[in-house]
Amino acid sequence: MFNSIKVKLTIIFLLWSLVPLVMLRFIVYPVVHRAFEQMVIQNLTGVGHKQSEFVSSWMKERKNDAALLASDTCIMAFHRCLTDSAEFKRILTQLEFVRDTHGYKDILIIDKEGKVKAGTEKNLVGIYLTEFDFFQEAIKGKVYVSKVTPSTFPALNEFGDREYGVPSLFVSSAVRDEGYNIQGVLALQVDLVTLSNEMRKVKLGETGETYLVDKDGLMITESKFINTIRQMGLIKKRTSLELKVIDPTTGKLTYAAEECVRGKEGYDAKGYLDYRGVRVLGVWHWLPEYGWGVISEIDLEEAYAAPMGMQRQFLVTIFVLAGVLVLVSIYVGRRISVPIIGINEATKRIASGDFSQRVPVTSTDELGQLAQSFNTMANSLEEKEFVHNFNRIIASSLLTDVFGAVSNEIKKVVDFDRISITRVHEKEQAFFVTFALTRGYTSNELRAGSMSRKVGSMMGDMLATGKPVVVDDTENGRYWSDKILLKEGIRSRLGYPLSFQEEIIGAINFSSKKKGYYTEKHFAILSRIAPQLAIALENARLIEKLKVQKAEV
């Protein structure tokens, strides 16, 4: 099979055609894919940095709010105000205004003994908060951000109701009097839902989200997928302080959460399972000031939708092109190999003695020229074989005995429906139809042995010019014999003069039922057998003459 030139050419063309596609798949595509990956990671990293900076900036604003409010003149004098005084009412009004305009849940003023002296929630007035870190640190003169912990007193939830255990975050600042002496603490209870909503304003695709985790890996903001998580049974009310960011398949912290609690920052471009069990890309930052990790994630399928789509399109394109290239390779291989195979087969037949083999010339390129050269060679070999056989037959016996064999041999190179040899009469203005062989029809007025006049005949023209004569159509022929042959169905004729010792002694004549069949291309082969045929005709004449002389004696 692989010895066939057709198969070899097809394989070669196929390999050369597929090499660029293979290079595209294994060299160009990985580069493009990596570029897409880098672009995705750069975008994700950019979002992560922006979210980290936003959280830091947002919390800084909360700290500034606490410090500024604590330094307000009215609040600085809270310890001297009676609860029913106008000054105290102005303090409450100011606290409510700040709560409503800045989105805080509650604002409390605590004296230095830890007792709530004033606040936006009346039910909290009079309770002691000495055990809370936001009081303990602020009373030392700091502006402090507390840990996110479940409330031990009724606090506002995300629905506007008060309940115990609500995730609470306080920002507190010391309250000093005019002498810069600490008289108490101002505490702002931050709404974590507001922080979650603000973080969601930075869009990260359809599945992207950013959330905060504490040092234990607990989520302290609300997840974008809270309904899904609730259906999974991972939470009851909210994700803040209820959802631990763990991989559901291992029960351990997700890769991003684990890196965060270690105080590291980075990203993962390969993908890892998040708390839903979905493979995601992630970037994370650790905020040591607050003990929080900022994690930004997006589903891997969405993040790499473009490169994956490109890969699918690329593979489809490769398969389609490969299919087309296979067909083209087969076609080109066949187009090149078929003429070569044809020449090879024809060469074998010529080698076995069949000189009639020819190959079709289907193009003008090198293959067409090769086929044309082969046919020229085959013509030359066939002519040589024909001349050889013709001379052998002529030399084997008298023309009268071998005319049939001679006719059959001539028919291999010049087709005819009727063939005849005429001989010029030595004395009369006439010629003899010495030999005639008619095929395919019975009429034969110009039969062997008949004598016809030279005037107005094809023989007469050949005697006058010494050149071959062609009649394309006997219907329009100028010779008297054309009308006779037309009745017999002959439409075209060819006469070739036979010369002996530079004298025309006769002619060989061909007739065909096809109009315009004979042309000058037949002259070349006839010129090679005419001398031998003329000698045979002269020998026949001499033998006939000897017979006549012998009979007279």
Give the model confidence (pLDDT) of 404-429 as tens digits.
777 888 888 888 988 888 888 766 56
Maximum distance among all alpha carbons in the chain?
A: 183
Distance CA 14, CA 45 (A): 45
CATH code of domain 71-194: 3.30.450.20
* Confidence label for 543 from pLDDT (cuts 50, 70 and 90): confident
- Superfamily covering domain 385-552: GAF domain (3.30.450.40)
Distance set, CA 443 to CA 437, 440, 480 (Å): 12, 10, 17
Q: Which residue has the higher pLDDT, 371 or 553?
A: 371
Distance CA 61, CA 64 (A): 5
Q: What is the pLDDT of residue 267?
A: 93
- The domain spans of the chain are 1-60+309-354, 71-194, 203-303, 385-552
* Confidence label for 3 from pLDDT (cuts 50, 70 and 90): low
Token pair for 95: 């606290």
Give the model confidence (pLDDT) of 392-409 as tens digits.
766 666 666 667 777 888
Among 36-45, 77-86, 282-291, 373-382, the range with the most confident prediction by mean pLDDT is 282-291
Distance CA 273, CA 297 (A): 11
Mean pLDDT of the chain: 84
Residue 280 has pLDDT above 90, yes or no: yes
Residue 56 has pLDDT above 90, yes or no: yes
Distance CA 322, CA 326 (A): 6
The position carrying tokens 């800084």 is: 60
End-to-end C-alpha distance for the chain, whole angstroms: 79
Distance set, CA 255 to CA 14, 246, 279, 444 (Å): 47, 9, 11, 109
* Confidence label for 368 from pLDDT (cuts 50, 70 and 90): confident
Q: What is the pLDDT of residue 440?
A: 46
Residue 141 has pLDDT above 80, yes or no: yes
Q: What is the dihedral of CA 175, 178, 179, 181, to 10 degrees?
A: -10
Residue 160 has pLDDT above 70, yes or no: yes
Which of 278, 257, 279 has the alpha carbon at shortest distance from 266? 257
Count of H-run helices and E-run strands, the chain: 15, 18
Residue 57 has pLDDT above 90, yes or no: yes
**293-314: average pLDDT:** 84
Residue 540: count other Cβ atoms within 10 Å of its Cβ.
20
Q: Which residue has the higher pLDDT, 392 or 433?
A: 392
Q: Which residue has the higher pLDDT, 302 or 333?
A: 302
- Superfamily covering domain 203-303: PAS domain (3.30.450.20)
Q: What is the pLDDT of residue 477?
A: 86
Give the model confidence (pLDDT) of 164-211 as tens digits.
999 999 999 999 998 899 999 999 999 999 999 999 888 888 999 999
Q: Are 251 and 245 in contact (CB under 8 A)?
A: no
**468-474: average pLDDT:** 94
Q: Which region among 15-24, 94-103, 282-291, 367-376 has the lowest average model confidence (pLDDT)?
A: 15-24
Q: What is the pLDDT of residue 414?
A: 87
Q: What is the pLDDT of residue 447?
A: 59
Contacts for 61 with CB less than 8 Å, ≥ 6 apart: none
Q: What is the pLDDT of residue 436?
A: 59
Q: What is the pLDDT of residue 432?
A: 58
Amino acid at 350: I
**5-13: average pLDDT:** 68
Q: Which residue has the higher pLDDT, 516 or 330?
A: 516
* Confidence label for 449 from pLDDT (cuts 50, 70 and 90): low
**2-22: average pLDDT:** 67
Q: Please check whether the two domains, 203-303 and 385-552, share a CATH topology.
A: yes
Helix axes 192-200, 29-70, angle to 10 degrees: 140
Q: Which residue has the higher pLDDT, 140 or 552?
A: 140
Q: Which region among 11-25, 262-276, 427-441 has the lowest average model confidence (pLDDT)?
A: 427-441
